[in-house]
Amino acid sequence: MALSGIVLVTGGAGFIGSHIAATLLDRGARVRVIDDFSTGYAENLAEIGGDIDLINGSINDTHALKRALENVELVFHEAAIPSVPRSVSKPLETHEASVNGTFSLLLAARDSKVRRLVYAASSSAYGDQAESPKRESMRPDPLSPYAVAKLVGEYYCQVFARVYGLETVALRYFNVFGPRQDPGSQYSGVISRFLLALNRGESPVIYGDGEQSRDFTYVSNVVEANLRAAESGAAVGHVINIANGESITVNQLLRTVQELTGRSDIRAKYEPPRAGDVRDSLADLTLAKNLLGYTPTVGLEAGLRKTIDWWKTSRFADQTTTV
């Protein structure tokens, strides 16, 4: 990636943000990260190494944001509180992080003459609509404050592209998983929580009957989509699904993880469904292929194997028995 300026990754100490930062470094970019470490970790940045200009601050902090955008050509906006349940219990916190934060960033990016901003949107915007697979042309039907907040960010991105000429691309992620996903929180992804429970010899928790389906997407696919979105002229102003393009039930997922970890002896614990969770999720990737040339290269089982291999030497392995 040939860039004359600095690349900013908001939330760069988080799960997806740190993977984007690492790949940018590998491709020779000058990388800056802004993160207030509310959901990110210094260990993630330490793991990727490299020469990163780190700003410890919030995107809602005007002074930190102004410093972060100095001489920046391209922004990957990953900063958020990525949790449906947390947004249900703390909606104002989610609004401030994802709505106010995104608006502040877009405004500052416009004023700083940033060329392009790639926004981490969410498949939660589709809600529980029966039509499958989910297509970008469908009317959004968000079920949680998190979904609404992420959707508002999409609209702001489109308006800033149309009105102010700031190039924006919004990528709707579908259930991203992989190394560095924090398993220690009830708000983390289901795969990392399954791994943590199985490592501890505990029953993994499934909310609902487990027959809800998801389009689980390995993180390297998402990173590649972001890099393609940074360069595609056809993608500007669009909202684009980024996923694996296949769905699996949560029960099937657990059985696969159990087989790969050799822990089929541990049974799941079922709890009531959580407010705001969707029943089924599967992405149509036509637009991603047409506008970005995107095709997922790491499937679910291969991604699970990579994630489990990372776990064996990760900081989480010290807290648990080895997979």
Supply the angle between the helices 15-26 and 219-229 in degrees, to the nearest 10. Answer: 60
Instruction: State the pLDDT confidence band at 119, using cuts at 50, 70 and 90.
Output: very high
CA distances from 255 to 60, 148, 198, 259 (A): 42, 32, 12, 6
pLDDT above 80: residue 1: no
pLDDT above 90: residue 150: yes
41, two tokens: 């970790």
Phi, psi for residue 284 in degrees, rounded to 5 = -90, 130
Average pLDDT over residues 119-125: 96
Dihedral over Cα of 205, 210, 214, 220: its sign: positive
- What pLDDT score was predicted for residue 192? 87
Helix, strand or coil for residue 82? coil
Q: Residue 323 and residue 309: Cα distance in Å, rounded? A: 9
Q: Which of 119, 146, 173, 294 is catalytic?
A: 146
| Selected residue with higher pLDDT from 181 and 52 | 52
- What pLDDT score was predicted for residue 313? 82
Instruction: State the pLDDT confidence band at 274, using cuts at 50, 70 and 90.
Output: confident
Q: Residue 65 and residue 39: Cα distance in Å, rounded? A: 18
H-assigned helices in the chain: 15-26, 42-48, 62-68, 84-89, 91-95, 101-111, 145-164, 190-200, 219-229, 250-261, 286-292, 300-312
CA distances from 304 to 39, 94, 153, 307 (A): 23, 29, 30, 5
The pLDDT tens digits of the residues spanning 60-112 come to 999 999 999 999 999 999 999 988 888 999 999 999 999 999 999 999 999 99
Phi, psi for residue 168 in degrees, rounded to 5 = -130, 145
Say which amino acid occupies 253: L
Number of Cβ within a 10 Å radius of residue 253: 23
Residues ≥6 apart with Cβ < 8 Å to 13: 33, 35, 37, 40, 41, 42, 44, 45, 54
Classify residue 163 by burial, with Cβ atoms within 10 Å: 0-12, 13-18, 19+. Answer: exposed
Q: Provide the β-strand partners of residue 8.
A: 32, 75
- What pLDDT score was predicted for residue 3? 66
Phi, psi for residue 142 in degrees, rounded to 5 = -65, 145
Average pLDDT over residues 190-208: 90
Say which amino acid occupies 322: T
172, two tokens: 């709707």
Q: Which domains does the chain have, with CATH numbers?
A: 6-176+219-242 (3.40.50.720), 177-214+246-276+298-319 (3.90.25.10)
Q: Residue 99 and residue 10: Cα distance in Å, rounded? A: 14
Encode burial over 291-315: b for 16+ CB neighbours within 10 A, e otherwise. Answer: bbebebebebeebbebbbebbeebe
pLDDT above 50: residue 299: yes
pLDDT above 90: residue 288: yes
Helix, strand or coil for residue 97? helix
The pLDDT tens digits of the residues spanning 59-69 come to 999 999 999 99
In the annotation, is 146 catalytic? Answer: yes
The pLDDT tens digits of the residues spanning 313-322 come to 877 766 544 4
Dihedral over Cα of 113, 146, 285, 309: its sign: positive
Q: Provide the β-strand partners of residue 33.
A: 9, 54
Instruction: State the pLDDT confidence band at 216, using cuts at 50, 70 and 90.
Output: very high
- What pLDDT score was predicted for residue 5? 80
